[in-house]
Structure 1
Amino acid sequence: QVSYVKKNNHFFSRIHVADIAQVLFKSLIYSKPGEIYNVSDNKPCSYDQTISYASSLMGIQTPPPVSFEALNEGEMKNFYKDSKKVSNKKIKKELKVKLYFPTYKEGFKSILNNIFDC
């Protein structure tokens, strides 16, 4: 059975592969030597939000959650110990990036459209 980890106040920044490619390309043109750039979309959110949204797009029931506390020690539990909100202001300002997929919502819609167009 499919399930997902639910942890209150746990956020994660995501990015679509097309936007990663754009950042890499523009960094070749506009980056300053020695600079470090965070790469993420505009909307850090919880895994719960992404699962709920993807399920609604596909017209399926959201899978049942597994609580963070119920996880065994290991890589999965370590991943959920910290939130990972990343700002993308620097790539937008210095690299002149305009995200094709500003949030996970546009990314999920594109992925589903590509799946059903094949």
Structure 2
Amino acid sequence: MAPPPLLSLEDADLSSRARAFYSECRRVANDRIKEELGVRLRYPTYREGLQACLAAETDD
């Protein structure tokens, strides 16, 4: 299945609330949860997790 075509934010049919949500830069850090829970994450960054997901899909 081919992915859907890309749309610019201006061309997308979004509510003002959705448009504001996607316009903002949202950064997250996992430092606090790692420290508080005392865990070592299998995929410390979203990039590593995404790569693993994509690799698993191609293995199927």
- TM-score (normalizing by structure 2): 0.61
After the TM superposition, which residues 39-118 of structure 1 pair with which residues of structure 2 at under 5 Å, given as runs? 66=8, 68=9, 70=10, 71-72=12-13, 74=15, 75-118=17-60
Instruction: Output the aligned Cα RMSD.
Output: 2.3
In 2, Cα distance between the equivalents of 1:106 and 1:82? 23
How many Å apart are 1:73 and its aligned residue?
A: 5.0
Could you tell me which runs of 5 or more consecutive residues in structure 2 were left unpaired when the two chains were aligned.
none
Q: What is the percent sequence identity of the aligned residues?
A: 31
Q: TM-score, normalised by structure 1?
A: 0.37
Q: Distance in 2 between matches of 1:72 and 1:117?
A: 35
Task: Determine the C-alpha separation between the residues in 2 that align with 1:106 and 1:88.
Answer: 14
1:2 is matched with: 5
Higher share of residues assigned strand? 1
Question: Deviation digits for residues 17-71 of structure 1, max 9, x if unmatched?
Answer: xxxxxxxxxxxxxxxxxxxxxxxxxxxxxxxxxxxxxxxxxxxxxxxxx1x4x14
Shift of 1:116: 1.8
Moved over 6 A (4+): none
Number of aligned residues: 55
CA distance in 2, matches of 1:91, 1:79: 24
Tell me how far apart the structure 1 counterparts of residues 20 and 51 of structure 2 sit (CA, whole Å).
30
Where in structure 1 are there 5+ consecutive unaligned residues? 5-65
